[in-house]
Amino acid sequence: MRIFLLLACGAAIVYPADTRRPKIIDAHVHFNGDPAFLTAYTKKLESVDGQGLLIAEQKHIATVKAFMERNPNRLYGLGQMSLDHPDALRMVDEFHEAGFRGLGELTGPEASYDDKRYWPIYERAEKYGMILLFHTGIVNRRNFAEPMNVSSDRMRVMTLDLIARRFPKLTLIAAHLGNPDYAWAAEIGRWNPNLVFDVSGSTLYKKQADLSYFKSIFWWDNLVSPHTPKTNVSAFEKLVFGSDVFGGELAEFERELELYNKLLDACGVPAASRENIFSGTLWKVLNRVR
Ligand SMILES: [Zn+2]
Over residues 78-95, the pLDDT tens digits come to 999 999 999 999 999 999
State residue 15's pLDDT score. 58
Amino acid at 46: E
> Which ranges of the chain have pLDDT less than 50?
1-12
Within a domain: residue 3? no
State residue 230's pLDDT score. 79
Within a domain: residue 11? no
Q: Long-range contact list for 225-234, CB < 8 A, 24+ apart?
A: 228/190, 229/190, 229/191, 229/193, 233/273, 233/276, 234/269, 234/270, 234/273
Alpha carbon of 104 to ligand 1 centroid (Å): 9
Nearest of 251, 274, 250, 272 to residue 262 by alpha carbon: 274
State residue 209's pLDDT score. 96
Alpha carbon of 136 to ligand 1 centroid (Å): 7
Alpha carbon of 181 to ligand 1 centroid (Å): 14
CA atoms 227, 231, 237, 239: torsion sign: negative
Within a domain: residue 7? no
Total number of domains constituting the chain: 1
C-alpha pair distances (Å), 249 with each of 51, 83, 223, 228, 286: 17, 26, 41, 40, 26
Within a domain: residue 124? yes
Alpha carbon of 215 to ligand 1 centroid (Å): 23
pTM score > 0.85 for this model? yes
* Alpha carbons 144 and 168: distance in angstroms, whole number: 39
* Alpha carbons 47 and 253: distance in angstroms, whole number: 12
* Alpha carbons 118 and 122: distance in angstroms, whole number: 7
State residue 226's pLDDT score. 79
* Alpha carbons 176 and 185: distance in angstroms, whole number: 10
Alpha carbon of 174 to ligand 1 centroid (Å): 9
- Domain residues for the domain of 132 are 20-138+149-286
Within a domain: residue 252? yes
196-220 in b/e form (b: 16+ CB < 10 A) is: bbbbbbebbeebeeebeebeebbeb
- Ion ligand 1 residue ranges (Cβ < 5 Å): 135, 175
pLDDT digits (tens, 9 = 90+) for 43-81: 999 999 999 999 999 999 999 999 999 999 999 999 999
Let me know: does 50 contact 23? Beta carbons within 8 Å. Answer: yes
Residue 84, CA atoms < 13 Å, CB-side half-sphere = 10
Q: CB neighbours (10 Å) of residue 259?
A: 20
* Alpha carbons 30 and 55: distance in angstroms, whole number: 5
Residue 225, CA atoms < 13 Å, CB-side half-sphere = 6
Alpha carbon of 155 to ligand 1 centroid (Å): 10
Within a domain: residue 5? no
Which CATH number fits the domain that encloses residue 24? 3.20.20.140
What three-state secondary structure class fits 232? coil
Nearest 10 degrees: Cα torsion 45, 243, 165, 276: 50
